[in-house]
């Protein structure tokens, strides 16, 4: 199985073609959608896109870890992180 990375310019072009608009306008739409997801997760803690999935802010407690270079034990501070949970349509498409 080969994998293909879709970069933002390719996503912009696909949106432009699907909506019959310019690539520049499509790029602004895609960037705006990403920005709204980022702001939603940062402010509200969760963004749900039915069928696609949800982005959720999670708290990670402080813990100890290892530096992969020298094996030294380090402390990893508590922090917030974002996770993605795939929705039903995405799960079905991946498993076909």
Q: Is the pLDDT of residue 2 over 80?
A: no
More confident call, 18 vs 1: 18
Q: How far apart are CA 41 and CA 58, in angstroms?
A: 10
* Mean pLDDT rounded to a whole number for the chain: 93
Per-residue pLDDT at 83? 95
- Evaluate whether the domain defined by 45-96 bears CATH number 4.10.520.10: yes
Euclidean distance between CA atoms 91 and 85, whole angstroms: 10
Residue 13 confidence (pLDDT) = 95
List the structure tokens of 33: 């959608």
Residue 30 confidence (pLDDT) = 94
Q: What CA–CA distances, in Å, run from 54 to 43, 49, 87?
A: 15, 6, 7
Residue 82 has pLDDT above 60, yes or no: yes
Question: Which residue spans of the chain are classified as CATH 4.10.520.10?
Answer: 45-96
14: tokens are 């696909």
Tens digit of pLDDT for each residue in 24-80?
999 999 999 999 999 999 998 899 999 899 999 999 999 999 999 999 999 999 999
């Amino acid at each position: 199985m080969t994998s293909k990375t879709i970069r933002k310019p390719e996503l912009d072009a696909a949106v432009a073609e699907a909506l019959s608009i310019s690539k520049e306008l499509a790029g602004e739409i895609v960037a705006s959608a990403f920005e709204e997801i980022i702001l939603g997760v940062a402010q509200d803690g969760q963004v749900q896109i039915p069928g696609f999935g949800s982005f959720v802010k999670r708290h990670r407690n402080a813990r100890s870890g290892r530096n992969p270079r020298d094996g030294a034990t380090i402390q990893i501070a508590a922090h917030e992180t974002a996770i993605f949970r795939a929705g039903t349509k995405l799960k079905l498409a991946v498993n076909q």
